[in-house]
Amino acid sequence: MRKKTKKLKKGKEKKEKFIPQLLKGMKDVLPEESKYWRYVLEKMVKVAKSYGFEEIIVPVLEDVNLFKRTIGESTDIVEKEMFTFFDKGKREVALRPELTAGIARAYIEHGLDSLPQPIKLFSFGPVFRYEKPQAGRQREFYQFNLEVLGSASPITDSQLIALAHTLFKELKLSVEIQINSLGCKDCRKEYYKKLFEALRYKKKLLCENCQQRLNRSPLRIFDCKEKKCKEFTYNLPFLIDSICQSCKDHFIKVLENLDELQIPYNLNPRIVRGLDYYTRTVFEFWPSKGNLSEDEKSKFALGGGGRYDELIKYLGGKITPACGMAFGMERMIEEMKNQGVLLPKERKNIVFLTAISEPAKKKALSLFEELKEAKIEVKEALAKDSLRAQLDLANKIGARIVLILGQDEVAHKTIIIKDMKTGIQEVVDVNKIIAEIKKRL
Ligand code: AMP
């Protein structure tokens, strides 16, 4: 919000007219768009519940150290992108840049580890990252997040990916699953030796930021958005080629499960995710766009996640292997529009009365009055002769039920009732039509 002040000659300040404005990187969701949000969110919740997930709601504001410790001090998110400030009690707090850390904190704080494991939780809400706004990148965006805490089994990783696959199918979105393994702490020790060897005389080819990060968190060079770093990393050894036997076995089982489920995936050794807490399996969901480069697709990733076996222990909890993922709401909706996915027509509780032939129309006139009296929202276009024209209008206004009265129906004291949501059509006794309608609405 901008507040302009103007210095007057005598030192007095005059307040100029205040013009409220949306902050950079924020977005209003207007009714035309919020229809998509509601639709996608309902699908997300339905799919999550069908896989046994329950909802958890955690605060938007947390102690800044929660994110520093979990996401990692040398990640872009913590180094550059967090909205942080001191509250009135002089505590440094942050608007959450993701949901996993808060959920992990809640898991420990409320002793959820004493319940039968694993615990499956979903959550939805805004997250904040101070990034340069551009297409598909905002400062406030919404994530739908899923976590499975207390399971080391590769079944968990595969089932999370299966859940995402089901969700994308439900939303009619075509995506590519990119998958990789980051191994465990021990694998990384081995890998870093190879990486530093490969970088021995070439560090200077990386951007300054990457050069600085190299000692603290070498994997981060793979997330760098600078073109020269991206190009350079194509020729470096990959972590996947250095993982230990146990991590390899885990990864192979995840892939075998996906094969069993006939879920296609792409092995991508460059997927490292932008956070430090991941171990073993990591994955991302990219929109399927034939001619775009890997970088372009990854820029518009619809979601991603992975295993984080060390995080809970690191926050002071018991050893708790876990796996999770998050989807970006705005990007999912944008991609639905790009891929031409239409929302199903919203059916209102309107009953549309149609009639063919003069005797049927006459009967329909009195039936229309009866329905109104029974407080049913009824519409008609009886002045139109063709049934097609009447049905077109019923469809256009999104009627839930269409009643069709023809000569035969009048003769037999029946009427056709069609549920436009299910498409099911039945012939019923015209004297029972009010009860029949109420049963269906
Ligand atoms: P991440 O854990 O960073 O991969 O985020 C998970 C998902 O959130 C991404 O795949 C995107 O769909 C979405 N996302 C991440 N950052 C942004 C952003 N700045 N603006 C909009 N959506 C984002």
CATH number (domain holding residue 433):
3.40.50.800
**Closest ligand 1 atom number to CA of residue 332:** 12
Ligand 1 contacts CB of residue 97 (under 6 A) = no
The span from the CA of 332 to the CA of 330, in Å, is 6
pLDDT for the residue numbered 2 = 46
Ligand 1, atom 4, residue with closest C-alpha: 304
Average pLDDT over residues 358-363: 94
Same domain, 35 and 157: yes
Give the domain range for residue 417: 351-440
pLDDT for the residue numbered 245 = 97
Q: Residue 263's closest CA among 181, 178, 162?
A: 162
Is 283 inside a domain boundary?
A: yes
Ligand 1, atom 15, residue with closest C-alpha: 328
The span from the CA of 183 to the CA of 192, in Å, is 12
Same domain, 69 and 151: yes
Site to substitute for ligand 1 among 179, 331, 332, most atoms within 8 A of C-beta: 331
**Which helix H or strand E contains 404, and what residues bound it?**
strand 399-405
- Within 10 angstroms of residue 142's Cβ, the number of other Cβ atoms is 22
pLDDT for the residue numbered 161 = 98
User: Comparing 92-106, 250-264, 280-294, 323-337, which segment has the lowest mean pLDDT?
Assistant: 280-294
Is 18 inside a domain boundary?
A: no
Ligand 1, atom 18, residue with closest C-alpha: 137
Residues of the chain above pLDDT 70, percent = 97
Ligand 1 contacts CB of residue 306 (under 6 A) = no
- Within 10 angstroms of residue 299's Cβ, the number of other Cβ atoms is 16
Residue 354 CA to ligand 1 centre (angstroms): 49
pLDDT for the residue numbered 220 = 86
Average pLDDT value for the chain: 92
Of 296 and 323, more confident: 323
Average pLDDT over residues 352-362: 95
What separation in angstroms does the CA of 430 have from each of 213, 364, 421? 77, 11, 21
Is 299 inside a domain boundary?
A: yes
Query: Using 50, 70 and 90 to split pLDDT, how confident is the model at 13?
Result: low
Is 393 inside a domain boundary?
A: yes
Q: Residue 333 pLDDT > 50, yes or no?
A: yes
Ligand 1 contacts CB of residue 76 (under 6 A) = no
Is 200 inside a domain boundary?
A: no
Query: Using 50, 70 and 90 to split pLDDT, how confident is the model at 10?
Result: low
**Which helix H or strand E contains 28, and what residues bound it?**
none
Decide: 322 and 309 in contact? Cβ < 8 Å. Answer: yes
Ligand 1 contacts CB of residue 141 (under 6 A) = yes
For residue 163, what is the domain's CATH number?
A: 3.30.930.10
Ligand 1, atom 21, residue with closest C-alpha: 137
Average pLDDT over residues 317-342: 96
319, exposed or middle or buried, with CB in 10 Å at 0-12, 13-18, 19+?
exposed
Average pLDDT over residues 410-429: 94
Residue 303 CA to ligand 1 centre (angstroms): 7
**Closest ligand 1 atom number to CA of residue 305:** 2
Query: 212: which residues sit within 8 A by CB, 6+ positions away?
Result: none
In the Cβ-directed half-sphere of 167, how many Cα atoms lie within 13 Å? 31
Same domain, 294 and 378: no
Same domain, 161 and 62: yes
The pLDDT tens digits for 69-122 are 998 887 888 888 999 999 999 999 999 999 999 999 999 999 999 999 999 999
Residue 131 CA to ligand 1 centre (angstroms): 11
Same domain, 96 and 50: yes
Same domain, 293 and 423: no
In the Cβ-directed half-sphere of 265, how many Cα atoms lie within 13 Å? 29
DSSP letters, 321-349, are: -EEEEEEEHHHHHHHHHHTTPPPPPPPEE
Decide: 222 and 272 in contact? Cβ < 8 Å. Answer: yes
pLDDT for the residue numbered 100 = 97
The residue out of 303, 338, 373 marking a domain boundary is 338
pLDDT for the residue numbered 290 = 74
**Closest ligand 1 atom number to CA of residue 274:** 3
The span from the CA of 130 to the CA of 118, in Å, is 34
Is 281 inside a domain boundary?
A: yes
pLDDT for the residue numbered 302 = 98
Ligand 1, atom 3, residue with closest C-alpha: 274
**Closest ligand 1 atom number to CA of residue 327:** 7
Query: Using 50, 70 and 90 to split pLDDT, how confident is the model at 212?
Result: confident
In the Cβ-directed half-sphere of 104, how many Cα atoms lie within 13 Å? 29
Query: 231: which residues sit within 8 A by CB, 6+ positions away?
Result: none
Average pLDDT over residues 124-128: 98
**Which helix H or strand E contains 130, and what residues bound it?**
none
What is residue 122's DSSP assignment?
A: E
Average pLDDT over residues 49-73: 95
Q: Residue 135 pLDDT > 50, yes or no?
A: yes
The span from the CA of 291 to the CA of 295, in Å, is 12
Backbone angles phi, psi at 263, to 5 degrees: -100, 115
Site to substitute for ligand 1 among 44, 98, 137, most atoms within 8 A of C-beta: 137
Same domain, 324 and 362: no
Decide: 336 and 312 in contact? Cβ < 8 Å. Answer: no
Ligand 1 contacts CB of residue 331 (under 6 A) = yes
Q: Residue 1 pLDDT > 50, yes or no?
A: no
Same domain, 289 and 416: no
Of 125 and 204, more confident: 125
Ligand 1, atom 8, residue with closest C-alpha: 328
List alpha helices for 183-325, DSSP H: 185-199, 208-216, 227-233, 245-260, 294-299, 311-314
Same domain, 330 and 357: no
**Closest ligand 1 atom number to CA of residue 284:** 10
Query: 81: which residues sit within 8 A by CB, 6+ positions away?
Result: 97, 129, 130, 131
Q: Residue 398 pLDDT > 60, yes or no?
A: yes
Residue 136 CA to ligand 1 centre (angstroms): 8
**Closest ligand 1 atom number to CA of residue 273:** 4
Of 43 and 13, more confident: 43
pTM score, two decimals? 0.82
Same domain, 259 and 407: no
Q: Residue 201 pLDDT > 90, yes or no?
A: no
- Within 10 angstroms of residue 314's Cβ, the number of other Cβ atoms is 14
Domain count, the chain: 2
Tokens 């027509």 locate to 345
Residue 313 CA to ligand 1 centre (angstroms): 26
Ligand 1 contacts CB of residue 305 (under 6 A) = no
Residue 349 CA to ligand 1 centre (angstroms): 37
Query: Using 50, 70 and 90 to split pLDDT, how confident is the model at 274?
Result: confident
In the Cβ-directed half-sphere of 29, how many Cα atoms lie within 13 Å? 14
Average pLDDT over residues 131-157: 97
Ligand 1 contacts CB of residue 138 (under 6 A) = yes
Is 9 inside a domain boundary?
A: no
List alpha helices for 51-153, DSSP H: 64-71, 76, 100-109
The residue out of 338, 360, 381 marking a domain boundary is 338
Same domain, 308 and 417: no
Same domain, 333 and 364: no
Is 436 inside a domain boundary?
A: yes
Q: Strand 378-380 relative to strand 348-355: parallel, antiparallel, unpaired?
A: parallel
Q: Residue 12 pLDDT > 60, yes or no?
A: no
Helices 433-440 and 358-373, packing angle to 10 deg:
60
Ligand 1 contacts CB of residue 128 (under 6 A) = no
The residue out of 338, 360, 382 marking a domain boundary is 338
pLDDT for the residue numbered 294 = 83
* Strand runs labelled E in 9-162: 13-15, 54-55, 61-63, 84-86, 92-95, 119-128, 140-149
pLDDT for the residue numbered 14 = 62
The span from the CA of 267 to the CA of 253, in Å, is 14
